[in-house]
């Protein structure tokens, strides 16, 4: 007699994770570029498509999160994530169509930029490598580019505009947020591994030099150079006084510091 296959039990925690993302560190990365983009565009007047684009961005992240959980789940457990995937997918598709209807087809030029980034991140998730450095790079870059979409509409407009205080902001946000990926790894998954600490410090120091160069060229303020210098100090100090001294730095503590630094980055973007 064949064994009876019991249906997978849907746990409240898993179901909640599909509807409400549990990666709290992603919230700053989700909202800061959006606020920056909306603010920059508001200087010349917000177009009607800005709001459905913002909705597409936010709901699309919820869909991305739920899809990632669906991809990682065992086949018999995938059903518990499917309602969130379908709901968020349909809503983001509807707001995306509204964005195109109001903003025009030139916005589609961002698809060749975003599809490889999101596709790579989802592929890594399906392989259970969603914590890989490449996955972080893809998601951080996708988030940071939003600071370009709203003010400039197309990649061609960004390229023709050239480097100035406005076009600097997306790269600066990428430098900060991807640096955070390094720092978190040195404190949690890759703690007590000196190579990761050195890589984190090198990333932050390189961006300190870049920001200093931009300030010398009068592209941006010296505040960014100081900000990345503080980031370099953070990249050294947290592992040194934490895991390397046998102390545990809790995710909530790391998150609180990142909230403060994200607000500083946002203030630098808006001044």
Give the per-residue pLDDT at 249.
81
Integer Rg of the chain from CA: 20
Q: How far apart are CA 80 and CA 19, in angstroms?
A: 10
Q: How far apart are CA 245 and CA 191, in angstroms?
A: 11
Q: Is the pTM of this model over 0.85?
A: yes
Q: How far apart are CA 142 and CA 147, in angstroms?
A: 10
Contact at 8 Å (CB) between 247 and 151?
A: no
pLDDT, tens digit (0-9, with 9 covering 90-100), for 77-131: 899 999 999 999 999 999 999 999 999 999 999 999 999 999 999 999 999 998 9
Q: How far apart are CA 271 and CA 253, in angstroms?
A: 28
pLDDT 10s per residue in the chain (271 long)? 344 444 445 455 566 678 888 777 788 999 999 999 999 999 888 999 999 999 999 999 999 999 999 999 988 889 999 999 999 999 999 999 999 999 999 999 999 999 999 999 999 999 999 899 999 999 999 999 999 999 999 999 999 999 999 999 999 999 999 999 999 999 988 888 999 999 999 999 999 999 999 999 999 999 999 999 999 999 999 999 887 777 888 878 888 888 999 999 999 999 8
């Amino acid at each position: 007699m064949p064994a009876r296959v019991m249906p997978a039990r849907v746990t409240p925690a898993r179901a909640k994770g599909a509807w409400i993302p549990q990666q709290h560190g992603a919230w700053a990365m989700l909202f800061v570029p959006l606020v920056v983009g909306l603010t920059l565009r508001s200087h010349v007047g917000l177009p009607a498509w800005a709001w459905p684009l913002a909705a597409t961005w936010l709901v699309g992240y919820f869909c991305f999160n739920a899809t990632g959980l669906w991809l990682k789940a065992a086949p018999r457990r995938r059903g518990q994530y499917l309602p969130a995937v379908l709901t968020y997918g349909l809503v983001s598709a509807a707001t995306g169509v509204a964005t195109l209807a109001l903003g025009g087809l030139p916005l589609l030029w961002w698809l060749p930029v975003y599809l490889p980034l999101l596709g790579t991140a989802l592929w890594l998730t399906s392989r259970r490598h969603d914590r890989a450095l490449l996955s972080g790079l893809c998601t951080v870059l996708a988030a940071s580019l939003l600071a370009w979409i709203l003010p400039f509409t197309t990649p061609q407009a960004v390229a023709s505009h050239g480097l100035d205080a406005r076009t600097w902001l997306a790269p600066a946000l990428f430098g900060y947020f991807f640096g955070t990926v390094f720092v978190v790894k040195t404190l949690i998954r890759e703690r007590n591994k000196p190579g990761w600490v050195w890589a984190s410090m090198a990333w932050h120091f390189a961006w300190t030099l870049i920001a200093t160069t931009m300030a010398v060229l009068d592209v941006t303020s010296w505040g960014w150079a100081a900000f990345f210098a503080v980031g370099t100090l953070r990249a050294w100090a947290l592992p040194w006084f934490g895991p390397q001294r046998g102390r545990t730095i809790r995710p909530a503590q790391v998150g609180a510091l990142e909230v403060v630094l994200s607000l500083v980055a946002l203030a630098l973007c808006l001044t």
